[in-house]
A and B are shown apart, each in its own frame.
Chain A
Amino acid sequence: MIRIENLHVTLPSRAGDVNILRGIDLTVAAGQKLGLIGPSGSGKSTLLMVLAGLEPPTKGDVEVAGHVYTKMSEDDLARFRRQHIGIVFQSFHLVPTMTAMENVALPLELAGQNNGFEVARELLAEVGLAHRLDHYPAQMSGGEQQRVAIARALSANPPVLFADEPTGNLDHATGQAIMDLLIKLADQRKTTLVLITHDSELAQRCDQVVSMRDGKIEVAA
């Protein structure tokens, strides 16, 4: 499902170019759960951005769900994302001026599907937010916002789900509940999951754990 070969990402900074990723090779099979751990600054989030098509690689090949990124334009990547990728961010990144239902329905609407709101209603019920359909992000707690984000990420039933520190802004108990939800839904849908976390305990809940340091894969277990 996911194949990366010799991936390099170099970003400009005031102090000069910074090599964020320095030759990453990685393969993730369909339906597999991959945990990506590493200290802060190891390049985990950048790797996820590349996998999501949000950051262009400086060198190397990236293939997700049979699509090679280097051959795709920005709009092609957007179209690809709406049907093949779901992303859950640490900071939720919900649209502040849309309700929970509208946030969840949005990827389906962008894909041109007419049943977005029906799907959204079901998914929000599934994540325990049936009573929050018409509430705005500012009216919900962090845990609730993350549930909405998870529902949104899964609304188009994507084959691949990326989660970048999904519990990073939540307390321990809430974070555990979120992880339980995330993994349950991914298992139900047989979605390939790439989970970025600094918490090794969370990472152990995945099928495969990869450790990163200084832009390189240190250990693959």
Chain B
Amino acid sequence: MSEQNAIGFGLALRLARRELRGGLAGFRIFLLCLILGIATIASVGSLSSALVAGMGAQGQAILGADIDFRLTHRQAFDEEKAWLEAQGTVSEIATMRTMVRLEEQSLLVEAKAVDALYPLYGALDLAPPLGLAALQTTTDAQGNVLYGALAEQTLFDRLEVAPGAIVGLGQIRLQLNAVVTAEPDRTAGGFPLAPRLLVSPQTLQAAGLLQPGSLINYHYRIKLPPEADVASMLAIRAEAADKFPNAGWRIRDRSDASPSLRRFIERLGLFLTLVGLTALVVGGVGVGNAISAYVQKRSESIAIMRALGASGRFIFYVYALQIAVLTILGVLIGLAIGAATPLAVKFFFGALLPVEIIAQIYPQPLMAAAGFGILSAAAFALWPLGKIEKTPVTALFRQSLGDVPQNAGKPIILAIGLCFVGLAALALLISERRDVAIWFGLGVGLSYLALAGAARLIIWLAKRAGRPRQPELRMALSNITRPNAPVKAVMLSMGLSVTLLSAISMVDGNINAQISNDLPERTPSFFFLDIQPHQIDDFLTSAKANPAISRVEASPLLRGQILAVNDVAAAALTPAPEAAWVLRGDRGLTYSIAEPSGGELVAGQWWAADYDGPPLISFDVDIARGLGIGIGDAVKVNILGRPLTATIYNLRKIDWASGGMNFVMVFSPAPLSSAPHTHLTTVTMAAAQEAAFAREVAVAYPNVTIIRVKEAIQAASSILTNLGLAVRAMSTITLIAGILVLAGAMASGHRARVYDAVVMKVLGATRRRIMLAYAIEYGLMGLGAALIAAAAGTLASWGLIAGAMQASWIFLPVTLAVTIIAAVVLTVILGLIGTYAALSAPAAPVLRSE
């Protein structure tokens, strides 16, 4: 930097400091808008990181081990078991869904058979604290064997029993000896569908539930020596893959104990970060307005400096430095709030969280929040600052904007563009799902442009509306068209936040409608699992004979894990994000002679009914596309510990929304038909007879697991409802940002409104008439914003439901109407609150001072 430039910059800094000495009164809205958005992003990011860190730190307790090897359908072979035991202390757990019975009731439970070493980490808390001795076998007064069990409180509540109660499980009777108040590895299994039941392995065996092909997961949990670190675990995993390439086990270690929970936290965190970014964009409008208003107030000072010889560029630096200082202040306050959030959440809500969070400072989310804050402040501040540079001195003295250029110049436009590019790049950088970030950014950007365009349209229409006779309407229209009218600020602030809220409401409404109305019509009444081969024919015969049953479908069921495609190991594949799930763990498989219903053949043909050649697969066409495979490709699957390679023979478009039985992979009958497996059956029947039928099945087939679809939908629905509430609550932050911006816009126009109101009062207008004029003005602006927001929100919900979720989308006119009305009412109320202050101002001081 040359000496001249250095002097200029030093002087600019000095002058900036002098200007700021006057206090921050004109920057309250500026700071609040920045702080709100940055604090939101920083808080969400810090809390997500704290939760994930907590999961990592408590990985042993969550997983119940240092490493967990899971096998489906089968126990470990002797060779596998010996190898596992050579790694460390091994605890064997078996989990399955099954039914307990009490008199006429049967209840789905998640049964877990634990050995004497359980839990390897963490503590199992019981009430009363009986310990694992409560799982032992006893006899009742009549000498009948009772098998000990422990259960979650929910099970006791659902059956309306207390500890000591006796229930049926398979062929045996259980005594529920105590309540499980804390199960250290509960979250490792993902979201629970049913209450937990703890038993011993002998109990599960005695119940007759361990049938070949039954849907049981066997966990081999290993406690490694204390010095074992991440490298050791990786080495063990590599050795397992090398020694037992076809074992088909799913391996997890303590560094990622519950991937599904972690993914859920990260995805939710990403979405809420994007909501925070929207709040920052909305707040950016307030930032721009605040700076415009500040510059206007300083116009006399600026004019004097320009008249005394200061260049436009110099003035730009003076004010840009002030804005930079204030931005840093806002960023620091926002970051402080964000950094403190994990501590605050732990203090107030720690007991409610599934995982104990680690409350510390997480630099990465804070840096991201700071980056977002600085870039968005710059993006919105540069335009009004840039216009100072271009404004001629004479215009500043005349305070007339008629002949002032409204353009800030190409360098400023370029700089603003770079800021937005920077924002987009940062959003992509922090997003695990880049497609989500891209669509979100596009949505916000297009909504912003649409709203800005709508603001211009409203002004244009108001100018062409003529001069209505009614003075209130005339005043409202003239206020919309006057220079520095708050039209754009109102449209952008309310419009963006209402767009987000209406999109969420429409998505929520669609999902609820699917769950409440659509799904029950399409889905069966029951899923029956673990029907043994020797039971299926009788089961189907009696089901079809039941007059209350309208439809029965059955399918063989096995589980298998994709090991490789065309000899490329599954771990080495790079699937599209929407297909990645199929490679994680094992999947339900079936075989069929004929083409199953619930789908449509889109490529290839179905195999002949008497086909007996090498194994063939019918594959879901969308998943195949996501994996980059097609007809003729070889897929190696592990089933019951044995690899099976089959060739893709055809591709099917599966209607997953049909609610029926559908499988990603359907095999040709041989050789799976001779492997141990069970049957899955769906039954659709009259709702009134469901309970009775479930009781009959529970009694006749005690090993069969009954999933009542209605209950499953309700469980999912309540999770979604709570999720929806949380997301909506967070989204109101954008509404708060919108209100702040609106308040700022009204504050900057307050003086003009006070003057107008006083003159109207002098001429004999009552306050009611003046308020009516403002109500019309804000009502028109609110309506414009609401209509755009409603359209944008509707489009966004359609994109998400029909596009991303591939479900049928329904238009919800009532939801939309409520959104529009609420937005208009809110805008009018906020406008009138600001106006009321103007109306209350005494007339005389205003008239004297003008």
- Looking at B17-25, B346-354, B365-373, B765-773, the stretch in contact with chain A turns out to be B765-773
A78 to B762, CA, bound (A): 7
Q: Give the distance to chain B from A198, nearest Cβ to Cβ, in Å.
A: 15
Decide: B764 and A83 in contact? CB cutoff 8 A: yes
Contacts of A156 in B (CB 8 A): 764
**Does B158 sit within 8 A of A, measured CB to CB?**
no
Q: Give the distance to chain A from B480, nearest Cβ to Cβ, in Å.
A: 10
Which chain B residue shows the least CB distance to A82?
B764
* Contact for B844 among A54, A80, A81, CB less than 8 A: A54
A138 to B764, CA, bound (A): 23
Q: Give the distance to chain A from B608, nearest Cβ to Cβ, in Å.
A: 84
* A75-B767, A81-B764 given; A97·B848 CB < 8 A: no
A80 to B847, CA, bound (A): 19
A83 to B763, CA, bound (A): 9
Contacts of B183 in A (CB 8 A): none
Which chain B residue shows the least CB distance to A155?
B763
* Contact for A98 among B469, B470, B478, B761, CB less than 8 A: B478
Decide: B763 and A106 in contact? CB cutoff 8 A: yes
Contacts of B768 in A (CB 8 A): 75
Decide: B847 and A93 in contact? CB cutoff 8 A: yes
A143 to B467, CA, bound (A): 26
- List which A70-105 residues lie within 8 A (CB) of chain B: 74-75, 78-83, 87, 89, 91, 93-99, 102
Decide: A78 and B761 in contact? CB cutoff 8 A: yes
* A54-B843, A55-B842, A97-B478 given; A110·B764 CB < 8 A: yes
* A95-B756, A102-B467, A102-B474 given; A52·B479 CB < 8 A: no
Contacts of B842 in A (CB 8 A): 55
Which chain A residue shows the least CB distance to B849?
A91
A99 to B756, CA, bound (A): 14
Which chain B residue shows the least CB distance to A74?
B767
Contacts of A147 in B (CB 8 A): none
**Does B250 sit within 8 A of A, measured CB to CB?**
no
A94 to B767, CA, bound (A): 19
**Does A45 sit within 8 A of B, measured CB to CB?**
yes
A70 to B236, CA, bound (A): 94
Decide: B764 and A93 in contact? CB cutoff 8 A: no
* A54-B762, A74-B767, A97-B478 given; A49·B844 CB < 8 A: yes
A31 to B749, CA, bound (A): 42
* Contact for B769 among A74, A80, A93, A110, CB less than 8 A: A110
**Does B482 sit within 8 A of A, measured CB to CB?**
yes
* Contact for A110 among B478, B765, B844, B848, CB less than 8 A: B765
**Does A152 sit within 8 A of B, measured CB to CB?**
yes
Q: Give the distance to chain B from A177, nearest Cβ to Cβ, in Å.
A: 23
**Does A107 sit within 8 A of B, measured CB to CB?**
yes
**How many interface contacts (CB-CB < 8 Å) are there between A and B?**
78
**Does B533 sit within 8 A of A, measured CB to CB?**
no
A98 to B842, CA, bound (A): 23
Decide: B766 and A52 in contact? CB cutoff 8 A: no
**Does B759 sit within 8 A of A, measured CB to CB?**
yes
Interface string of A96-132 (1 = CB under 8 A from B): 1111001000110111000001000000000000000
The secondary structure that dominates the A interface is: helix
Interface string of B762-805 (1 = CB under 8 A from A): 11111111000000000000000000000000000000000000
A78 to B479, CA, bound (A): 22
Contacts of A107 in B (CB 8 A): 763-764
Decide: B847 and A89 in contact? CB cutoff 8 A: yes
The secondary structure that dominates the B interface is: helix
- List which B704-735 residues lie within 8 A (CB) of chain A: none
Size bin of chain B's contact surface = 20 to 34
Which chain A residue shows the least CB distance to B752?
A96
Q: Give the distance to chain A from B288, nearest Cβ to Cβ, in Å.
A: 24
Which chain B residue shows the least CB distance to A89?
B847
Please indicate which of the listed interface residues A78, A93, A152 has the most CB atoms of chain B within 10 Å of its own CB. Answer: A78
Contacts of B843 in A (CB 8 A): 49, 54-55
Contacts of B474 in A (CB 8 A): 98, 102
A107 to B479, CA, bound (A): 19
* A49-B847, A97-B478 given; A87·B762 CB < 8 A: yes
Q: Give the distance to chain A from B403, nearest Cβ to Cβ, in Å.
A: 13
Q: Give the distance to chain B from A145, nearest Cβ to Cβ, in Å.
A: 13
Please indicate which of the listed interface residues B478, B479, B756, B760 has the most CB atoms of chain A within 10 Å of its own CB. Answer: B478
**Does A46 sit within 8 A of B, measured CB to CB?**
yes
Which chain A residue shows the least CB distance to B843?
A54
Contacts of A49 in B (CB 8 A): 843-844, 847
Contacts of B769 in A (CB 8 A): 110
**Does B471 sit within 8 A of A, measured CB to CB?**
yes
Contacts of B766 in A (CB 8 A): 75, 78-79
Which chain A residue shows the least CB distance to B480?
A97
**Does B850 sit within 8 A of A, measured CB to CB?**
yes
* A74-B767, A95-B759, A107-B763 given; A54·B847 CB < 8 A: yes
* A74-B767, A87-B762, A93-B759 given; A106·B471 CB < 8 A: yes
Q: Give the distance to chain B from A48, nearest Cβ to Cβ, in Å.
A: 9
Contacts of A94 in B (CB 8 A): 759
Contacts of B760 in A (CB 8 A): 95, 106, 110
A102 to B765, CA, bound (A): 14
Interface string of B499-529 (1 = CB under 8 A from A): 0000000000000000000000000000000
Q: Give the distance to chain A from B842, nearest Cβ to Cβ, in Å.
A: 7
Contacts of A152 in B (CB 8 A): 763
Decide: B762 and A93 in contact? CB cutoff 8 A: yes
* A49-B847, A54-B844, A89-B847 given; A111·B482 CB < 8 A: no
Which chain B residue shows the least CB distance to A85?
B764
Which chain A residue shows the least CB distance to B470?
A109
Which chain B residue shows the least CB distance to A134?
B467
- List which B732-766 residues lie within 8 A (CB) of chain A: 756, 759-766
Q: Give the distance to chain B from A83, nearest Cβ to Cβ, in Å.
A: 7
Contacts of A82 in B (CB 8 A): 763-765
Please indicate which of the listed interface residues A52, A94, A97, A117 has the most CB atoms of chain B within 10 Å of its own CB. Answer: A97
A49 to B470, CA, bound (A): 29
Q: Give the distance to chain B from A18, nearest Cβ to Cβ, in Å.
A: 13
* A93-B759, A97-B478 given; A55·B764 CB < 8 A: no
Decide: B471 and A110 in contact? CB cutoff 8 A: yes
Interface string of B444-485 (1 = CB under 8 A from A): 000000000000000000000001011100110011011000
Contacts of A97 in B (CB 8 A): 475, 478-479, 481-482
Interface string of A188-216 (1 = CB under 8 A from B): 00000000000000000000000000000
Contacts of B847 in A (CB 8 A): 49, 54, 89, 91, 93
* Contact for B762 among A45, A81, A138, CB less than 8 A: A81
Q: Give the distance to chain A from B849, nearest Cβ to Cβ, in Å.
A: 9
A175 to B843, CA, bound (A): 26
A46 to B845, CA, bound (A): 10
Decide: A78 and B764 in contact? CB cutoff 8 A: yes
A81 to B482, CA, bound (A): 27
Interface string of B60-96 (1 = CB under 8 A from A): 0000000000000000000000000000000000000
Decide: A109 and B482 in contact? CB cutoff 8 A: no
Which chain B residue shows the least CB distance to A54?
B843
Contacts of A110 in B (CB 8 A): 471, 760, 763-765, 769
Q: Give the distance to chain A from B485, nearest Cβ to Cβ, in Å.
A: 10
Which chain A residue shows the least CB distance to B839?
A74
A75 to B761, CA, bound (A): 9
Q: Give the distance to chain B from A7, nearest Cβ to Cβ, in Å.
A: 15
Would you list 8 pairs from A and B whose C-beta atoms are within 8 A, ordered by A residue?
Answer: A49-B843, A55-B844, A78-B761, A83-B764, A93-B850, A106-B760, A107-B764, A110-B763
| Supplied contacts A55-B843, A98-B478, A110-B760, 11 more A-B pairs, CB within 8 Å | A49-B844, A54-B761, A54-B844, A75-B767, A78-B764, A82-B763, A97-B478, A97-B479, A98-B475, A110-B763, A156-B764
6 smallest beta-carbon distances between A and B, as pairs: A82-B764, A97-B478, A54-B843, A49-B844, A75-B766, A55-B844
A residues with CB within 8 A of B: 45-46, 49, 52, 54-55, 74-75, 78-83, 87, 89, 91, 93-99, 102, 106-107, 109-111, 117, 138, 152, 156
